[in-house]
Structure 1
Amino acid sequence: MTGTHPVGTRAPGPAGQWLRNLTTPPRGAGEPPVRLLCFPHAAGGASAFRPWRGLLPPECDLWAVQYPGHEDRVGEPPATDLTRTARQAAIAAQWLADRPYLVFGHSMGALLAYETCRRLDHLGVTVPDRLFVSGSPPPHRVAAAPADTDSVPHRMHGYEHRTGTETGAGPDNEQHDEQYDDLAAKTLSADLRMLAGYRPGPAWRVPWPVTVIRAAQDPDLDAAAAAAWQDYAVDDVTLATVSGDHFVCFTRPHDTVRLITGAVRR
């Protein structure tokens, strides 16, 4: 989740600050593949999507956004403004738009994915084939809800121990110590403050297909909240439910990835 280890391959040029290629090995410049750009959850980093690498079709490159203060950007101050973070991510994401691409975001990452797509559209950049939002109510519902500072850290703690970490830490590893726990807690706290300060502007309706993914046992997203994303799309959204809890897209990613690969342009 956090740490100073290398995470994927950086995009060339200025986009390399924000974008990590998680495909192994990274594909070259031959036949243009489709790209999938993923936005992590609160306290999550690009490496959260490593379990997806072997599940995507061979023509799909896996990319993830790396937020300031996370993983290999741990030496930078964490982001404090969600809309400004999305603006910076959009500037970097333009580099991916020379090929067909999809955008996915989970939890806090769903909001960042939405806001980033808003800015890509305003910049006149080639739009993604589809936006996938997972594990999050739509922007105005998030902004109106009180911050739940107790339950989110509890669920994050459970997620860390179910999956281990990219630093080699785990429940049976001595590296999973107070130093790591303190770093993870600070990263989560910074992201929760950013979420608490999120004030979305006028609702922007996504002018391309949108899929909302809800885990059936997710306490953060019920069916009504998932359906409310309809107010943020020009056309009807696709509502999909997978079995599992809030972090099932990482702990058992097959169902989530299958929904995404169904939209890959072949």
Structure 2
Amino acid sequence: MTFQDLVTMPSTFPSWIKLIPGRGAGPSAGAIVVFPHAGAAAASYRVLAAALAAGADTYIVQYPQRADRLSEPAHETVHDLAVGLFEAGPWASVAPLQLFGHSMGAVVAFEFARVAEEHGVAVRKLWASAGPPPCVVADMPELPTSDDEVLAELADLGGTDPELLADEEFAELLTTAMRADYRAFNRYDPSPEVCIGADIHVLGGRDDHRIATEVLRLWENHTAGAFDLSLHDGGHFYVYEHVETIAAQVNADV
């Protein structure tokens, strides 16, 4: 990290980066950073973050166009989103980092890792959960962005209470956030060879109809470190059914 980096790095985290203080008995060994899936607010990951905090301080990032960042402009690309998240906080002061991202959040976390490593901030491991590896992005169809298409997508993905989707006000907020994220993903154009130095541990649901196990294995192409894969029972949002197990996996590395 250069002197200029230290001069420009903020000294405190903004309020939209949510901290759940660690409850570990020993001295801090870094921090865990959680990256939500497309359309989700940080609050969706409070339960997982609370479980992760048994091992270390845990931060949940908030993307623009939702919750306390509702009025902020949408991000142009996934990479731009990751840059903004990195520049928002003094990550070097809480490193080394473990990054946990679910679905699109896995890709945001990967880009965050790239930016962090470029700035000399240590990333110990990326936990990529149910997300597409960068090498397959070019061959993926564009994600939907109209209101009706986004609502249909949410219903297909699962993980959202159907009664909430039927609420017009809630549905409008959710589609606004998801549209912003999907547009950013549609503009994401990584090199198939892009790589990070940190280890990558991929997690997935055995019954996930959105991303196959053989696709998850392709994340191995994107690390110069160690690679591992763990599967759990469940679909695309299996993570909500295995909070304690997943937290134990991550915290075993803290």
Quickly name the TM-score band, shorter chain normalised.
Answer: 0.7 to 0.9
- The 3 A distance-change label for structure 1 pair 250 and 97 is farther
Aligned partner of residue 129 in structure 1, secondary structure: strand
Question: Are 2:250 and 1:260 aligned?
Answer: yes
How many Å apart are 1:31 and its aligned residue?
Answer: 4.0
How many Å apart are 1:220 and its aligned residue?
Answer: 2.0
How many Å apart are 1:140 and its aligned residue?
Answer: 2.6
TM-score (norm 1): 0.79
What is the rounded CA distance, in whole Å, between the counterparts of 2:12 and 2:110 in structure 1? 22
What is the rounded CA distance, in whole Å, between the counterparts of 1:34 and 1:46 in structure 2? 20
What is the rounded CA distance, in whole Å, between the counterparts of 2:38 and 2:113 in structure 1? 19
User: Which residue of 30, 33, 36 maps to 2:32?
Assistant: 36
Q: Please give the per-residue CA displacement for 1:216-238, whole angstroms capped at 9, x wherever unaligned.
A: 11122212111111110113410
Question: Are 2:101 and 1:105 aligned?
Answer: yes
Contact preservation (8 Å) 1:18, 1:92: no
Question: Are 2:147 and 1:146 aligned?
Answer: no
Question: Are 2:241 and 1:243 aligned?
Answer: no
What is the rounded CA distance, in whole Å, between the counterparts of 2:15 and 2:134 in structure 1? 26
- The 3 A distance-change label for structure 1 pair 83 and 99 is closer
AA aligned to 1:122 is: E
The answer for the alignment partner of 1:219 in structure 2 is: 209
Identity %: 26
How many Å apart are 1:78 and its aligned residue?
Answer: 2.1
TM-score (norm 2): 0.82
What is the rounded CA distance, in whole Å, between the counterparts of 2:82 and 2:17 in structure 1? 13
Aligned partner of residue 130 in structure 1, secondary structure: strand
Unaligned runs of 5+ in 2: 1-9
Contact preservation (8 Å) 2:34, 2:49: no
How many Å apart are 1:244 and its aligned residue?
Answer: 0.8
Give the CA RMSD over aligned residues: 2.6
Contact preservation (8 Å) 1:56, 1:257: yes
Q: Please give the per-residue CA displacement for 1:190-236, whole angstroms capped at 9, x wherever unaligned.
A: 21111111111463322121101111111222121111111101134
What is the rounded CA distance, in whole Å, between the counterparts of 1:201 and 1:93 in structure 2? 27
How many Å apart are 1:14 and its aligned residue?
Answer: 5.9
What is the rounded CA distance, in whole Å, between the counterparts of 2:176 and 2:94 in structure 1? 36
The answer for the alignment partner of 2:17 in structure 1 is: 19
What is the rounded CA distance, in whole Å, between the counterparts of 2:155 and 2:166 in structure 1? 17
Unaligned runs of 5+ in 1: 1-11, 163-170
Contact preservation (8 Å) 2:12, 2:90: no
AA aligned to 1:234 is: A
Contact preservation (8 Å) 1:100, 1:129: yes
AA aligned to 2:28 is: P
What is the rounded CA distance, in whole Å, between the counterparts of 2:54 and 2:131 in structure 1? 29
Aligned partner of residue 112 in structure 1, secondary structure: helix
